[in-house]
Amino acid sequence: MEELKNYYRRVAKYSSAASLLYWDMQTYMPKDAGPYRAEVLSEIGTYAFKAMIDDALGTLLETAQPQNEIEEKIVSVGKKEYYKYKKVPPELFQEIMMTSTMLEQKWEIAKPKGDFEEVRPLLEKLVELSRKYAEILGYEEEPYNALLDLYEPGMKARAVEQMFNNVKTSILEVLEKIENLPKTEDPFDREISAEKQKEFSIWLLHYLKYDFNKGRLDVSAHPFTNPIGLNDVRITTRYIVNDMRNSIYSTIHEFGHALYALSIPAEFYGLPIGSSASYGFDESQSRFWENIVGRSLVFWKGIYQKFVEIIPEMKEYTVEELWRAVNRVQRSYIRTEADEVTYNLHIIIRFEIERALINGELSVKDIPDKWNELFKKYIGLEVPNNTLGCMQDPHWYGGNFGYFPTYALGNLYAAQIFEKLKEEIDFEDVVSKGEFDVIKDFLREKIHSKGKMYEPAELIKMVTGKPLSYEPFVRYVKEKYSKVYGIEL
């Protein structure tokens, strides 16, 4: 077993180096360095990939003699991943890495102009490569399931569709009731300097007890969390001067991701069980801290004095007014800025498009028109340009087909976990006192300490006693926004 563990830990060092190079590419790398960085990343990534499908690893997995449950999981999860990826030619993997890295760099340049034609040729190539990848991996029912399984093991598109349809129906009913209410002044509709926003973001992370000895906060065009290596998990945010909510909630959101990564047992690092259970579970933690904690009234009562100290122009508003403002519901274009009620609608649009793309039912050239059609249908807005439409996210241009559903699944997991958490602790009392360790202990025991030992369907049952359902999320939204707006939902 030790030889097997050491093999994994050795390969993890190469993945760690690639993660650091990617983080640098998104934060500080000179723009002209992009093409060579794409070569470097694909080279290192392919080297690590080859090591993970090498016959030597297969032999170690087959001859391993696990002595306890953790070692049994190392072997079983390792075998599943080994035999899945063993089917993939390294040349295809490298071509996907190279194409996606180059395309993501091209997207960064084309996005502000909304120039879809500039990215279309490479995106067509990447979609074709992703379809080939899905065929090689193998699937049940539809090709898209092969890619969805990479992010949410065991999940099927048909099950996602059923849950999303139920969420969509319930959310549109809530949205229509809220929209009929009179509009109120928005306290955040003002310019607040990036310097002040940064000061408050750093204070927030200290308040939440983010360990700056194991991480850092930087700026990127699209906020993200990157676990670089053991005891090194970096997060980014962005400062939009005319809406400070963006930085507040990007920072808290990425804190949630970082907390999960830093709370997985150190002895799991580099091993097949040394990551989150799934992208959906990972998202559940960021959405839990961002929305359930960070947008609660008790949380705002705890941060209000510091907030108005750093942003004195906000002193004219009460804590209740600011709380309602950060929970304002309205139809909008940008997913990362969307409120809790409409957010999942943004994800459903992306899910339907990428599913059709991978299943061969939609051509890349038709993405903008399909996006605009679904956006009008579900969110009720005419999309003025591709920057606010199909080019706003990096995921497709980075080759991450199958990723988007996990954002909405994260909301469903978070709400279901929240219901269970409230049975065991006094949530409002704990948050009002800033005693976040009580919540962290619950999450660590139930979720973080398990790493990737269990598939998400099994883990959510272990945590809550029930399979994943959309119903807790709908209950959460109706209860919370009835209070925010003072109406019965």
Catalytic residues: 254
Question: How far apart are alpha carbons 214 and 379 in whole angstroms?
Answer: 40
Contact 276, 264 (CB under 8 A): yes
**Do you know the residue count of the chain?**
489
Among positive and negative, which fits the CA dihedral 52, 56, 58, 63?
A: negative
How many other C-beta atoms can be found within 10 angstroms of the C-beta atom of residue 424? 10
How many other C-beta atoms can be found within 10 angstroms of the C-beta atom of residue 55? 8
- Residue matched to tokens 């990343």: 41
> Does residue 401 come out as left (phi exceeding 0), alpha (psi in the -120 to 50 range) or beta?
beta
Question: How far apart are alpha carbons 27 and 338 in whole angstroms?
Answer: 24
Count helices and strands in the chain by DSSP H and E runs: 20, 3
Q: Which of 248, 245, 242, 246 is nearest to 191 (CA)?
A: 242
- Residue matched to tokens 């960064």: 108
Question: How far apart are alpha carbons 338 and 327 in whole angstroms?
Answer: 10
H/E segment holding residue 118:
helix 116-137
Contact 33, 52 (CB under 8 A): no
The string of DSSP letters for 38-69 reads HHHHHHHHHHHHHHHT-HHHHHHHHH----SH
Among positive and negative, which fits the CA dihedral 81, 19, 151, 47?
A: negative
Measured between alpha carbons, how far is residue 129 from residues 55, 99, 119, 187 in Å? Answer: 25, 9, 15, 47
What's the distance, CA 402 to chain centroid? Answer: 12
Question: How far apart are alpha carbons 165 and 397 in whole angstroms?
Answer: 26
Query: In a 10 Å sphere around its CB, with 0-12 CB exposed, 13-18 middle and 19+ buried, how is residue 65 labelled?
Result: exposed
H/E segment holding residue 119:
helix 116-137
Question: How far apart are alpha carbons 420 and 460 in whole angstroms?
Answer: 11
